[in-house]
Amino acid sequence: MKHCNKRKGWYARDFKQKAIDLAKEIGPEHAGPKLGIAAGTLRKWVWREENGQGMKKKLETPESQAMREAAREIQRLKKQNEELEKANFILRQVASFFPDDRFSADLKRSLNSSNKPKKK
């Protein structure tokens, strides 16, 4: 079984180990085409195994998972904030074209009370 998952480049552990063993025997340049893997990929796998970085599964701790989720949430909020700042800027520009009636004054006042977009 070559691929265990539909993600590109993900190989089953047993296939990967057999590919490493074969690459050590006959070289990555010869083993790669036989297995349908790039020779560079095989060289990287062999190097990692020889340098003690083998196929260790990355340990997932609750803290690392929480940090990753927090980082995703921060990115989402930054994007949302940027979109809202753009919308406020556009509304502020549109409000400047209206005559100074009650609607326009209220709109301008509410927009000016919010933070203006930061210049980057």
The residue among 86, 81, 88 whose CA lies nearest residue 110 is 88
Domain boundaries, given as residue ranges, for the chain: 1-57, 62-113
Dihedral of the alpha carbons of 39, 41, 42, 45, in degrees to the nearest 10: 160
Task: Provide, rounded to the nearest whole percent, the portion of the chain with pLDDT above 90.
Answer: 24
Q: Under a CB-based contact definition with an 8 Å cutoff, are residues 81 and 59 in contact?
A: no
**Where residue 4 falls among pLDDT bands split at 50, 70, 90?**
very low
Q: Higher pLDDT residue, 111 or 92?
A: 92
Q: Among 1.10.20, 3.40.50, 1.10.10, 1.10.3470, name the CATH number for the domain at 1-57.
A: 1.10.10
Question: Which among 18-32, 54-68, 87-101 has the top mean pLDDT?
Answer: 18-32
Query: Where would I find the beta strands (DSSP E) of 1-120?
Result: none
Phi then psi for 99, rounded to 5 degrees?
A: -65, 160
- How far is it, in rounded angstroms, from Cα 32 to Cα 19? 8
Q: Under a CB-based contact definition with an 8 Å cutoff, are residues 54 and 48 in contact?
A: yes
pLDDT digits (tens, 9 = 90+) for 72-98: 999 999 999 999 999 999 988 887 777
Q: Which residue has the tokens 């990555």?
A: 28
